[in-house]
Amino acid sequence: MSILVVGTVAFDAIETPFGKTDKIIGGAATYICLSSSFFNNKINLVSVVGGDFPDSAIQMLKDKKVDVKGLQIKKGEKTFFWSGKYHNNMNMRDTLETQLNVLEKFDPIVPEEFKNSKYLMLGNLMPSVQKKVLDQMIKKPKLIVLDTMNFWMDLFMDDLQEALKEVDVLTINDEEARQLSGEYSLAKAAKIILAKGPKYLIIKKGEHGALLFNNKEVFFAPALPLEEVFDPTGAGDSFAGGFIGYLAKTDDISFENMKRAVINGSAMASFCVEKFGTQKLTEINQDEINTRIEDFVTLTKFDSQLK
Amino acid sequence: MSILVVGTVAFDAIETPFGKTDKIIGGAATYICLSSSFFNNKINLVSVVGGDFPDSAIQMLKDKKVDVKGLQIKKGEKTFFWSGKYHNNMNMRDTLETQLNVLEKFDPIVPEEFKNSKYLMLGNLMPSVQKKVLDQMIKKPKLIVLDTMNFWMDLFMDDLQEALKEVDVLTINDEEARQLSGEYSLAKAAKIILAKGPKYLIIKKGEHGALLFNNKEVFFAPALPLEEVFDPTGAGDSFAGGFIGYLAKTDDISFENMKRAVINGSAMASFCVEKFGTQKLTEINQDEINTRIEDFVTLTKFDSQLK
């Protein structure tokens, strides 16, 4: 089934305890597209880059069957740029520089052929831009997933709350869930957030796994205890790409299938962090994904009955 | 099977965002005994209290079938006292006061009848005291579990390393695993720690669950997303009590059974934090424990095959 992906396509410069990159290809939509491409070949991208964005990177997306018709290229302008530095524990990072560039006046235009995409993934962006995309859809997609972050909660909470009324699944991290709800307990936070609109809430806890809530059940997916985490950039977006990619492929949005989608998303995130930027996502194959899913199954599996 | 439990029996005064207690009954061995009493009725306690320790608290332990023959009562002295204050996030706490009192010169004496206990739980204590108990055992217990903390790593790392050579299972939290190994990655830390002696390592991550490692496998037990955490004091000790209690009851120390033991320990910890001090552990019954084990099974269960 078709997925419409909206989000940033960008340059990142990343520093971690393991090394440092110059400008490399990044952006939420890039990670989402690459990750979901393992599950789906009808990925429609809406985003914006400047004239400085390399054709080779656009070609890489095309090679993954991403339809880039909705990728605006602003010739005389520059691509969104973010640079950041991770601390030793990899859970904290400092933003060193943000150049909004083409993102400053981004007006997302959804091509006609994309307007009835069955699945919609609103990657992390200004909430009013996410809303503009929602408003252009001809009919309500089967599933709308929205990712956001504390930055937008600080600046545009009203816009975000407005967008939340229309989404099916919200993905945020634990600190953001606390900020959005005003509750420290994630179980309580989930109840409050689900009352704001979303039918499902995914709380991403990085190295501590992810929680999936609906209004009566909860599912927990662990994170694999990895020996090396080189670069956490894009992990959340890779998760989202695997999650929606799996749902669109199976076209089943039951809670049971969402559990599998969360595990698939977690597997994609676990690959993403093993190398800098998008590199690992361009190297893996389906066999490796299957093996990793098995690792997730093994990690928490036990026989509750004594033999 | 018999369990020898060594650790503190103490007074605690606790402050959390939900309230404050005066001196209440606490101590690692108290929590371990109470927790393991749900699984086992041959619990042998070695500890020390002062003349100020109430008979009623000793009677409570006796009522739970704890053999208090090895509990030294120092008439003219005072019981170990700790007071602490938890921050809003419940993961951080400040120690407000520590009075070692009877603990200062504690010489653990293992009664003859306890010296061939099949299971040995060395609760959090000065490593040299833990070692003194080990040295008194007539034959090596079937399983030796040792719990420790950063405080002892700071002060008596050599003694701790010495004790570690003789234990089967080490239980510590994630920060302590990093301190003991010098590695941030828990997967790497586990390898280093297992090379120091223990055959199994349990890394307790509080609200993020627990990891069980041996030298080739890893198992992850989630923590239940609880609505209220009133008081984390004793959670790790309740975990240890449930863990060793379950193993002693089933008398099976295979890795598969240790997984079940970790889930049972996690269930006991999840009860412990729901009320102040030991209160909840004195109220629950076997049905409630069974129901909670089911909650743990449900939390991570998914069918990896699409129907």
Q: What percentage of chain A has pLDDT greater than the value 90? A: 91
Between B184, B220, B293, which is nearest A88 by CB? B184
Confidence of residue A307 (pLDDT cuts 50, 70, 90): low
Say which DSSP state A196 is in: T
Interface check for B179 against chain A (CB to CB < 8 A): the answer is no
Span B171-221, pLDDT tens digits: 999 999 999 999 999 999 999 999 999 999 999 999 999 999 999 999 999
Interface check for A295 against chain B (CB to CB < 8 A): the answer is no
Confidence of residue B18 (pLDDT cuts 50, 70, 90): confident
**Closest-CA residue of chain A to B91:** A184
CA distance B133 to chain A (A): 32
Interface test with A, best of B294, B300, B305 (most A CBs within 10 A): B300
A122 Cβ contact partners less than 8 Å away, ≥ 6 residues apart: A6, A7, A130, A133, A134, A144, A145, A146, A147, A163, A167
Q: Is the pLDDT of residue A92 over 90?
A: no
B106 Cβ contact partners less than 8 Å away, ≥ 6 residues apart: B48, B72, B125, B126, B129
CA separation for the pair A212, B282 (Å, rounded): 33
CA distance B185 to chain A (A): 6
Which stretches within chain A are classed as H helix?
Answer: 28-36, 55-63, 127-136, 150-164, 174-181, 186-194, 235-250, 255-272, 286-300
Q: What percentage of chain B has pLDDT greater than the value 70? A: 99
Ramachandran area for residue A234 (φ above 0: left; ψ -120 to 50: alpha; else beta): left
**Predicted pLDDT at A267:** 97
pLDDT average, residue stretch A51-59:
97
Interface check for B299 against chain A (CB to CB < 8 A): the answer is yes
Interface check for A252 against chain B (CB to CB < 8 A): the answer is yes
Bigger pLDDT: A17 or B112?
A: B112
Inter-chain touch A208–B208, beta carbons under 8 Å: yes
**Predicted pLDDT at A306:** 66
pLDDT average, residue stretch A60-76:
97
Q: What percentage of chain A has pLDDT greater than the value 70? A: 99
CA separation for the pair A299, B222 (Å, rounded): 11
**Predicted pLDDT at B88:** 75
Span B134-145, pLDDT tens digits: 999 998 999 999
Inter-chain touch A302–B250, beta carbons under 8 Å: no
Inter-chain touch A299–B220, beta carbons under 8 Å: yes
Confidence of residue A266 (pLDDT cuts 50, 70, 90): very high
Half-sphere exposure of A70 toward its Cβ, with a 13 Å CA cutoff?
Answer: 27
CB A168 within 8 A of CB A199: yes
**Predicted pLDDT at A258:** 97
**Predicted pLDDT at A50:** 98
CA separation for the pair A267, A263 (Å, rounded): 6
Span A134-150, pLDDT tens digits: 999 998 999 999 999 99
Span B238-297, pLDDT tens digits: 999 999 999 999 999 999 999 999 999 999 999 999 999 999 999 999 999 999 999 999
Span A167-195, pLDDT tens digits: 999 999 999 999 999 999 999 999 999 99
**Predicted pLDDT at A303:** 85
A17 Cβ contact partners less than 8 Å away, ≥ 6 residues apart: A86, A88, A90
Between A190, A219, A260, which is nearest B304 by CB? A260
pLDDT average, residue stretch A231-247:
97
CA distance A188 to chain B (A): 6
Q: Is the pLDDT of residue B307 over 60?
A: no
CA separation for the pair A265, A202 (Å, rounded): 11
**Closest-CA residue of chain A to B219:** A299
Ramachandran area for residue A242 (φ above 0: left; ψ -120 to 50: alpha; else beta): alpha
Interface check for B286 against chain A (CB to CB < 8 A): the answer is no
Confidence of residue B92 (pLDDT cuts 50, 70, 90): confident
Q: Which of A189, A197, A276 is nearest to A232 (CA)?
A: A276
Confidence of residue B306 (pLDDT cuts 50, 70, 90): low
**Predicted pLDDT at B305:** 76
CA dihedral A80, A85, A86, A87 (to 10 degrees): -160
Inter-chain touch A208–B211, beta carbons under 8 Å: no
pLDDT average, residue stretch A249-253:
97
Interface test with A, best of B88, B220, B230 (most A CBs within 10 A): B220
**Predicted pLDDT at B99:** 94
**Summary mean pLDDT of chain B:** 95
Highest mean pLDDT among A12-21, A93-102, B2-11: B2-11
Token representation of residue B51: 């003349």
**Predicted pLDDT at A114:** 97
Inter-chain touch A257–B304, beta carbons under 8 Å: no
